[in-house]
Amino acid sequence: MAPENGTGISEFLLLGFSEEHGWQPLLFGVFLSMHLVTVFGNLLIILVIMVYSRLHTPMYFFLSNLSFVDICFTSTTVPKMLVNIQTQSKVISYAGCITQMYFFILFVGLDSFLLTVMAYDRFVAICHPLHYTVIMSPRLCGLLVLVSWIMGVLHSSLHSLMVLRLTFCTDLEIPHFFCELNQIIHLACSDTFLNDVVMYLAAVLLGGGCLTGILYSYSKIVSSVRAISSAQGKYKAFSTCASHLAVVSLFYCTSLGVYLGSAATHNSHSSATASVMYTVVTPMLNPFIYSLRNKDIKRALKDSLRGKLEQVQLSWG
3-state SS, the chain, equals: CCCECHHHCCEEEECCCCCCHHHHHHHHHHHHHHHHHHHHHHHHHHHHHHHCHHHCCHHHHHHHHHHHHHHHHHHHHHHHHHHHHHHCCCEEEHHHHHHHHHHHHHHHHHHHHHHHHHHHHHHHHHHCHHHHHHHCCHHHHHHHHHHHHHHHHHHHHHHHHHHHCCCECCCCEECCCCCCHHHHHHHECCCCHHHHHHHHHHHHHHHHHHHHHHHHHHHHHHHHHHHCCCHHHHHHHHHHHHHHHHHHHHHHHHHHHHHHHHHHHCCHHHHHHHHHHHHHHHHHHHHHHHHHHCHHHHHHHHHHHHHHHHHHHHHHC
Do the bridges between strand 11-14 and strand 91-93 make them parallel or antiparallel, or are there none, so unpaired?
antiparallel
Q: pTM here?
A: 0.89
Using alpha carbons only, how large is the chain's radius of gyration in Å? 22
Asked if 240 and 126 count as a contact pair (C-beta separation under 8 A), the reply is yes
Using CA atoms, how far apart are residues 257 and 273, in angstroms rounded to an integer?
12
Asked if 107 and 73 count as a contact pair (C-beta separation under 8 A), the reply is yes
pLDDT in tens, 177-190: 899 998 899 899 88
pLDDT in tens, 1-58: 344 444 457 789 998 776 666 678 888 999 999 999 999 999 999 998 998 888 899 9
Do the bridges between strand 91-93 and strand 173-174 make them parallel or antiparallel, or are there none, so unpaired?
unpaired
**From residue 19, how far is each of 3, 24, 67 by CA, in Å?**
28, 8, 33
The pLDDT of residue 3 is 43
| Selected residue with higher pLDDT from 131 and 230 | 131
**From residue 99, how far is each of 1, 60, 66, 103 by CA, in Å?**
27, 30, 21, 6
The pLDDT of residue 308 is 56
Fold of the domain spanning 7-316: Rhopdopsin 7-helix transmembrane proteins (1.20.1070)
Nearest CA to 209 among 117, 107, 101?
A: 117
| Selected residue with higher pLDDT from 269 and 204 | 204
Q: Lowest mean pLDDT: which of 5-19, 81-95, 203-217, 227-241?
A: 5-19
Q: Is the pLDDT of residue 208 over 80?
A: yes
pLDDT class for 287, splitting at 50, 70, 90? confident
Using CA atoms, how far apart are residues 277 and 54, in angstroms rounded to an integer?
33
- Residue extents of the structural domains in the chain: 7-316
| Selected residue with higher pLDDT from 17 and 201 | 201
pLDDT in tens, 165-176: 999 887 788 888
